[in-house]
Amino acid sequence: MGYSDENLIAAHLKGDPTAFRELVRRYGDGVLGYLCHMTGNRDQAEDLFQETFKRVHEKAHTFRGEGFKSWLFTIATRVTIDGARRRKRRVAVSLDQDSDCEESTGSQLATVADENAASPPDELLRQEQKEQVRKAVESLPTGQRATLILAYYQQLSYREVAEALGCSVGAVKTQMSRALATLAQRLPDSIGATK
C-alpha cells in the first residue's frame, strides 16, 4: 500500500489504468477543494476538475519525475485561468452569486438527515462560521487566494507553491503574508473563539 505519486505516474505511462484511477482518488478532494475556492462555484469547479485530470492524463509524459503534487496544481491553476478566460468571453457572471461549494451537492435535507450530522443549532452555527470564512477567503485577490489555498489547505511547501504558480518563493511568501494579514482583519473575532 501507499505507492508514491511518481510510481503511479510511471505505471500510468506504462498503460496501467488503475494507477491513474488511484491518482484521481488520492488528489480528488484536494484538487476539487482548490478549484472550488478559486471559482466559488461547485459546478464550475467540477468542470475544471474533469479538465484538470484530463490534462494530467494526456500530459503525464511531460512530468519530470518529482514533485507530482505541485505539477498537478500547476495544471489545476492553468485550467482555472483558462476557464476564467473562457467564461469572461462568454458571459459575465454576477459577483454576488452565492458560493455553492458546500459538500452537499444533493439535497440539503438529505445531509441534515444524515445520522452523523450535528444537532440543528450546532449545524447552523457551523455553517454560518464556514460561510464567513469562505467569504473572507474568496474576497482575497486571486494570487493571494491561490497561494493561501495551496500553502495552507493543500499544505504544499512554499517552494512547491512557487512551482505551481510559476513565481519565486519570495513572491509566494509576500502573497501569503498579505493574505493572512487581510484575513486577520476580516475574520470576525467570534469565529476564532468558537471551536
Partner 1 sequence: MNTHLTDQQLIDYQFDLACEADSNEARTHLEKCEACRKRLQELARKLSALEVLRDDVKASPELLSTTIRTAMRANDRRILLHRLPWLGAVAAAVIVGIALLSVPNRAGKDAMSLSPSAPGVAMSPRPKGAVEEPPLAEQAVAVGHAAQTGEMLAMNGTRDSAGPVRSVPVRAYLDFQEEKITPYGVTTNGLATAIDEQPPFAPASAIELVVLPRREDVQLTIYNAADLTLVRERRNLTLKRGWNWLQFMWANTLIDPTSLHLEPLEHKDRVEVQQLVFPPRLRELGRWLIHSEIEGPTPFELTYFTSGLSWRAFYMGTLSQDEKTMHLEGYVRVNNSSGEDYEDAKTRLIVGQVHLLDAVAELARRQYAYGSPVLTGVLGGVADNGLFLEDKSLVVAQVFNYGGDHVESLKRKDIQKEGLSEYFLYTIEGTETIPNEWGKRLLSFEANDVPVKSLCKYDEERWGDRTIRFLSLANDKEHKLGETPIPDGTVRVYGRADEQGHLSYVGGTRVKYIPVGEEVELELGRARLVEVKPVLMDVKTENHTFDTKGEVNGWDRVRTWKIEVVNAHTLPVEIEVTRGFETAYWSLTPAGGDATYRKHDATHARFELTVPPRQTQVFEYELTTYHGVRQEALSVK
Smallest gap from Cβ 107 to partner 1, in A, equals 9
Question: Who's near 94: CB < 8 A, 6+ residues apart?
Answer: none
Applying CB under 8 A, among 89, 94, 95, 189 the residue interacting with partner 1 is 189
d(CA 139, CA 3) in angstroms, rounded, equals 38
CB neighbours (10 Å) of residue 152? Answer: 15
CB 24 within 8 A of CB 53: yes
C-alpha cell, 166: 510559476
151: amino acid identity, one letter = A
CB neighbours (10 Å) of residue 102? Answer: 15
Considering only residues 53 through 112, tell me which ones interact with partner 1, judged by CB under 8 A: 53-54, 56-58, 61, 101-103, 105, 109-110, 112
- Contacting range for partner 1; rule: CB under 8 A; set: 50-58, 64-72, 82-90, 160-168: 50-58
Smallest gap from Cβ 92 to partner 1, in A, equals 25
- Hey, is 188 helix, strand or coil? coil
Applying CB under 8 A, among 88, 98, 122, 181 the residue interacting with partner 1 is 181
- Contacting range for partner 1; rule: CB under 8 A; set: 12-20, 74-82, 90-98, 160-168: 12-20
Applying CB under 8 A, among 18, 139, 142, 168 the residue interacting with partner 1 is 18
Applying CB under 8 A, among 84, 93, 171, 180 the residue interacting with partner 1 is 180
CB 34 within 8 A of CB 75: no
By the rule CB under 8 A, 7 interacts with partner 1:
yes
Q: Which sign does the torsion angle of CA 86, 183, 34, 191 carry?
A: negative
Applying CB under 8 A, among 32, 75, 161, 164 the residue interacting with partner 1 is 32
CB nearer to partner 1: give 78 or 134: 134
By the rule CB under 8 A, 191 interacts with partner 1:
yes
